[in-house]
Amino acid sequence: MLGRSIAAFVALVTASAANAQWVPGMEIYEQDVQVLSNGVLNTVHFRRDGTATISSSTGATVVDATWNTNDGKLCLKTASTSDCYPYQLPFTARMPVDLTSDCGVQSRWTALATGVMPGERG
């Protein structure tokens, strides 16, 4: 019983340490995230330099964008629109997250892959 408690404590401390080193956005640097909004599926590629591309599901349409993470939000801006979504925890590959933007748009975000975070092995 004591062994299980110690193992659980070690796992909790390890997870807390990894989250303490998390910089919002780092897990999606140079990664693709699928975003489903109003029945439309797009793929957003997040670059480390704060630029992004938003591609339609067919790839026929590609829109340049910028992105940032501030005040617990992930924001995307194109030449014609911008929106911010709550962003409190890192994305996990292939785990959909339902988010509602500041403008009231409901979307499902799914990171296709995620980068290695501090404390993890690649």
Q: Are the beta carbons of 67 and 75 closer than 8 angstroms?
A: yes
At residue 97, the pLDDT reads 97
Residue 19, domain member (yes or no): no
CATH number of residue 54's parent domain: 2.40.128
pTM over 0.85: no
DSSP H helical segments within 1-121, as ranges? 2-20
Tell me what pLDDT residue 19 has: 52
Structure confidence at residue 118 (pLDDT)? 52
Instruction: Using the structure block, give the residue that is written with the tokens 């995230």.
Output: 33
Please report whether residue 4 resides in a domain.
no
Task: Identify the pLDDT of residue 119.
Answer: 53
- pLDDT, tens only, 101-122: 999 999 999 999 999 765 554 4
Is 31 within the bounds of a domain?
Answer: yes
Residue 6 lies in a domain: no
Tens-place pLDDT, residues 48-93: 999 999 999 999 999 999 999 999 999 999 999 999 999 999 999 9
Residue 22 is predicted with a pLDDT of 86
Number of structural domains (the chain) is: 1
pLDDT of the residue at 45: 98
In-domain check, residue 16: no
Torsion of CA 97, 101, 107, 111, to 10 degrees: -40
The verdict on residue 41 lying in a domain is yes
Strand partners, 108: 36, 98
Does residue 8 lie in a domain region?
Answer: no
Domain residues for 87?
24-111
Residue 95 resides in a domain = yes
pLDDT tens digit sequence for 6-49: 444 444 444 444 455 889 999 999 999 999 999 999 999 999 99
